[in-house]
């Protein structure tokens, strides 16, 4: 990559549209729970669809990170197993915990993918997922669906629910949608790639402060009605 291209990419960086206020806390709690349960020995954890995103070292204990198997449909330096979330290459009841962070919207059969998590987990094994509700289209490589909190409960109905809550609140939902809408206005909703890159940059800087209102509102009871994303923690019955 040329020096000019690297410089251009650095200058193009802009703030993200959402603020996840629960992920770090939840991963820290899950990590502690798993470490306590087995003393870190013999753990087997799946991070499904994690791709190139490592688990944060400041939230996840070293023994949990060392026990985590990264599964994805594409090979990256972090991926240990190339496989499909709808057909996990693991035997029944062999896994202590399964994570999926912003995965289920990207699989064509979310019901089957959740059933696969259930199948490979040991009895009492934990599942932790972060799942979108109000978000704009974002393909990676495809984008198939969204879930309300009621829909999530139905999707995970074969698990015992430990906790279901908002991880990305309504202000983030507004920030992302307004950003996309402004970028569309700036380009007259054109599909011109260069124009869209400029429009995205401008719209991002104009709208990103809105997400910080979630510091006030994401925990409020009615935030679920227009949350950007939910989290679900459950255990295999």
Tens of pLDDT along 164-179? Answer: 999 999 999 999 999 9
Instruction: Specify the 3-state DSSP secondary structure of 174.
Output: helix
Assess contact for 192 and 95: CB atoms under 8 A: no
pLDDT(76) > 70: yes
Tens digit of pLDDT for each residue in 112-131?
999 999 999 999 999 999 99
- Nearest 5°: the CA angle 182, 188, 189 is 75
Please state, rounded to an integer, the average pLDDT across all residues of the chain: 93
Instruction: Specify the 3-state DSSP secondary structure of 161.
Output: strand
Find the distance separating the first CA and the last CA of the chain, reported in whole Å: 51
The span from the CA of 120 to the CA of 117, in Å, is 6
Across the range 26-36, mean pLDDT stands at 92
Tens digit of pLDDT for each residue in 208-235?
999 999 999 999 999 999 999 999 999 9
Phi then psi dihedrals of residue 152, to 5 deg: -65, -40
Residues with Cβ < 8 Å from 97, sequence gap 6 or more? 30, 34, 43, 45, 46, 121, 125, 126, 127, 128
The span from the CA of 68 to the CA of 101, in Å, is 14
- Nearest 5°: the CA angle 230, 80, 74 is 70
Instruction: Count the Cβ atoms, other than its own, within 10 Å of residue 72.
Output: 22
Q: Name the residue among 107, 112, 119, 108 with its Cα closest to residue 46.
A: 119
- Cross-strand partners of 121: 95
How much is the pLDDT for 59? 83
> pTM here?
0.93
């Amino acid at each position: 990559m040329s020096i000019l291209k690297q410089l251009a990419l650095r200058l193009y960086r802009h703030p993200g549209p959402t603020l996840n206020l629960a992920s770090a806390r939840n991963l820290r709690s899950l990590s502690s729970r798993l470490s306590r349960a087995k003393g870190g020995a013999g753990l087997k954890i799946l991070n499904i669809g994690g791709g190139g995103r490592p688990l944060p070292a400041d939230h996840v204990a070293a023994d949990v990170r060392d026990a985590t198997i990264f599964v994805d449909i594409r090979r990256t330096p972090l991926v240990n197993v190339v496989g499909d979330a709808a057909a996990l290459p693991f035997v029944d009841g062999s896994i202590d915990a399964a994570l999926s962070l912003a995965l289920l919207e990207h699989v064509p059969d979310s019901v089957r993918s959740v059933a696969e998590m259930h199948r490979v987990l040991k009895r009492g094994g934990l599942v932790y997922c972060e799942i979108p509700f109000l978000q704009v289209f974002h393909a990676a490589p495809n984008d198939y669906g969204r879930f309300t909190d009621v829909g999530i409960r139905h999707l995970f109905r074969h698990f015992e629910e430990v906790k279901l809550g908002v991880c990305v609140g309504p202000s983030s939902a507004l920030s992302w949608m307004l950003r996309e809408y402004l970028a569309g206005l700036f380009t007259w909703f054109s599909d011109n790639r260069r124009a869209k890159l400029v429009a995205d940059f401008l719209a991002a800087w104009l709208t990103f402060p809105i997400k910080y209102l979630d510091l006030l509102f994401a925990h409020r009871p009615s935030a679920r009605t227009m949350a950007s994303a939910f989290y679900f923690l459950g255990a295999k019955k």
